[in-house]
């Protein structure tokens, strides 16, 4: 596989004309025929974008309507090589529709943006994503990978356990609630020896559970420190309830951000459990070693590939299949986005035809963005043309 492209790597110095010619040659001569999913219509479009548009495509939770490339806002301005890094990652576990494109994707990972853009227009057809009711505007939020100090053994400072899946947990079957896990001795016995590490703050543990993964700087019994990643390994299959929403409904806060929630707990320590128990859902983890190379990427999403900050999104797979390149447009008070992203993850709160969660990365700025971003969204999937049809 070609090396991943970063901001520090050298860009090719080939002229735009030569790059475009190379991309056209690859598309015309070097690509295997595409395999379409059952029921996908045969497009009748020309590469010059003047032919008839293909018929709409119906998904379980969305409807895709074919459009011209000039409908995609900002398409000529995006730094496509950043998205190409995420696409190369998707090619580690591609679905059948995109597998035959991965050879071109890898070869073009070091090409100029003009060549990448020309290849997209030659090989793919944009479709506007709509709800089954016909709405083309939805909701964009963001998520991040939190990072906390932890201890391998409990002590006076670190006493909040993160657990592996307990004995007796069955996937798809509701298990005990968060309150029962915290208060029933018989349930607590199922966690004996299942502790991964201990945090200092129960709200931090909840943040990890809501985000689904995180980085821990673990203090070992000998005093050394180890950097690890904890990733989602299961849940108690109870419904998720927002603790921020619980506080807002009670009029306890006006701001439901994580800093505001933590501040409320500090002022109301006697009600901390009441707050946490308002969300019956609990998530369990597994520990992964975090090498220097792994630390440059996010955790693995539902597609099974590492997430790329700013270029990976979580979607409802009933609307958009994993591994699909997606053009995203969102404008609001927090952020303005017009860019190519890859559908590589999902989440329990990410449901509906036009819905996405934007992976912001890790660190303080990512946490701040994830806490603030909630704004309108439009999406276009970029779907292969039938058998390379022009």
pLDDT tens sequence across 190-244: 999 999 999 999 999 999 999 999 999 999 999 999 999 999 999 999 999 999 9
Beta strands at 374-384 and 124-130: parallel, antiparallel or unpaired: antiparallel
Beta strands at 312-315 and 336-345: parallel, antiparallel or unpaired: parallel
Is residue 285 within 8 A of residue 232, CB to CB? The reply is: yes
The structural domain count of the chain equals: 1
Is residue 215 within 8 A of residue 229, CB to CB? The reply is: yes
Domain assignment present for residue 172? The answer is yes
Range of the domain at 181: 145-294
The torsion angles phi and psi of 276, rounded to 5 degrees, stand at: -65, -40
| DSSP label of 300 | B
Q: Which of 13-27, 122-136, 262-276, 294-308 has the lowest mean pLDDT?
A: 13-27
Domain assignment present for residue 18? The answer is no
Domain assignment present for residue 132? The answer is no
Look at the block and give the residue holding tokens 């997430």.
307
* Per-residue model confidence (pLDDT) at position 292: 85
Q: How confident is the model at residue 14 (pLDDT cuts 50, 70, 90)?
A: very low
41: pLDDT strictly greater than 50: no
340: pLDDT strictly greater than 80: yes
32: pLDDT strictly greater than 60: no
Query: Cβ of 340: how many Cβ atoms within 10 Å?
Result: 25
Domain assignment present for residue 176? The answer is yes
Please give the mean pLDDT across all residues of the chain: 88
Query: Cβ of 120: how many Cβ atoms within 10 Å?
Result: 22
Q: How far apart are CA 76 and CA 253, in angstroms?
A: 43
Nearest to 199, CA basis, from 161, 252, 237, 164: 161
Domain assignment present for residue 261? The answer is yes
> Which neighbouring-strand residues pair with 284?
234
44: pLDDT strictly greater than 60: no
* Per-residue model confidence (pLDDT) at position 257: 87
* Per-residue model confidence (pLDDT) at position 38: 38
* Per-residue model confidence (pLDDT) at position 167: 86
53: pLDDT strictly greater than 80: yes
* Per-residue model confidence (pLDDT) at position 49: 62
Residue-wise pLDDT tens digits, 151-181: 999 999 999 999 999 988 998 999 999 999 9
Q: How far apart are CA 332 and CA 336, in angstroms?
A: 6
Q: How far apart are CA 299 and CA 285, in angstroms?
A: 12
For position 277, which CATH number holds?
2.40.240.50
* Per-residue model confidence (pLDDT) at position 4: 33
Domain assignment present for residue 102? The answer is no
> Which neighbouring-strand residues pair with 126?
382
Nearest to 75, CA basis, from 25, 27, 126: 126
Q: How confident is the model at residue 139 (pLDDT cuts 50, 70, 90)?
A: very high
What is the chain's length? 390
Q: How confident is the model at residue 381 (pLDDT cuts 50, 70, 90)?
A: very high
Q: What is the mean pLDDT of residues 276-304?
A: 94
Query: Cβ of 6: how many Cβ atoms within 10 Å?
Result: 10
In degrees to the nearest 10, what's the CA dihedral of 299, 187, 178, 368?
Answer: -30
Distance of alpha carbon 107 from the chain centroid? 25
Domain assignment present for residue 310? The answer is no
Sheet holding 213-219, edge to edge: 160-163, 195-199, 147-151, 213-219, 225-235, 283-289
Is residue 325 within 8 A of residue 87, CB to CB? The reply is: yes
Beta strands at 312-315 and 57-58: parallel, antiparallel or unpaired: unpaired
Domain assignment present for residue 122? The answer is no
98: pLDDT strictly greater than 70: yes
Sequence-ordered alpha helix ranges (H) in the chain: 16-29, 80-90, 96-99, 102-107, 113-123, 178-183, 185-189, 202-211, 243-249, 258-267, 272-277, 364-372
Q: Which of 10-14, 211-215, 377-381 has the lowest mean pLDDT?
A: 10-14
The pLDDT > 70 percentage for the chain reads 86
Nearest to 350, CA basis, from 143, 93, 133: 143
Is residue 1 within 8 A of residue 106, CB to CB? The reply is: yes
* Per-residue model confidence (pLDDT) at position 355: 98
pTM of the model: 0.78
């Amino acid at each position: 596989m070609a090396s991943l492209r970063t901001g520090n790597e050298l860009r090719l110095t080939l002229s735009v004309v030569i790059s475009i010619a190379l991309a056209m040659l690859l598309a015309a001569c070097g690509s295997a025929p595409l395999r379409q999913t059952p029921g996908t219509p045969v497009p009748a479009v020309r590469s010059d974008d003047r032919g008839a548009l293909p018929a709409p495509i119906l998904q379980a939770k969305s409807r895709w309507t074919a459009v011209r490339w000039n409908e995609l806002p900002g398409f000529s301005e995006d730094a496509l090589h950043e998205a190409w890094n995420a696409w190369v990652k998707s090619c580690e576990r591609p679905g059948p529709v995109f597998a035959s494109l991965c050879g071109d994707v890898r070869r073009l990972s070091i090409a100029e943006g003009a060549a990448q853009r020309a290849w997209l227009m030659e090989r793919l057809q944009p479709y506007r994503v709509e709800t089954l009711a016909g709405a083309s505007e939805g909701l964009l939020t963001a998520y991040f990978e939190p990072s906390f100090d932890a201890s391998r053994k409990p002590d006076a400072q670190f006493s909040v356990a993160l657990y592996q899946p307990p004995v007796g947990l069955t996937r798809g079957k509701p298990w005990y609630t968060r309150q029962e896990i915290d208060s029933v001795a018989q349930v607590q016995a199922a966690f004996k020896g299942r502790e991964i590490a201990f945090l200092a703050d129960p709200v931090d543990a909840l943040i990890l559970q809501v985000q689904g993964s995180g980085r821990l700087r673990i203090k070992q019994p000998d005093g050394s420190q180890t950097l690890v990643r904890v990733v989602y390994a299961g849940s108690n299959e109870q419904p998720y309830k927002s603790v921020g929403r619980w506080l807002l409904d009670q009029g306890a806060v006006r701001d439901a951000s994580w800093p505001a929630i933590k501040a409320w707990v500090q002022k109301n320590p006697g009600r901390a459990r009441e707050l946490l128990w308002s969300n019956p859902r609990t998530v369990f983890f597994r520990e992964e070693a975090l090498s220097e190379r792994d630390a440059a990427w996010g955790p693995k999403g539902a597609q099974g590939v590492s997430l790329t900050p700013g270029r990976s999104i979580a979607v409802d797979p009933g609307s958009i299949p994993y591994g699909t390149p997606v053009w995203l447009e969102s404008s609001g008070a927090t952020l303005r986005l017009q860019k190519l992203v890859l559908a590589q993850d999902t989440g329990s709160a990410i449901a509906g035809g036009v819905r996405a969660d934007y992976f912001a990365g890790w660190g303080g700025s990512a946490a701040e963005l994830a806490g603030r971003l909630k704004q309108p969204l439009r999406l276009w999937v970029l779907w292969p043309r039938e058998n390379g049809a022009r």
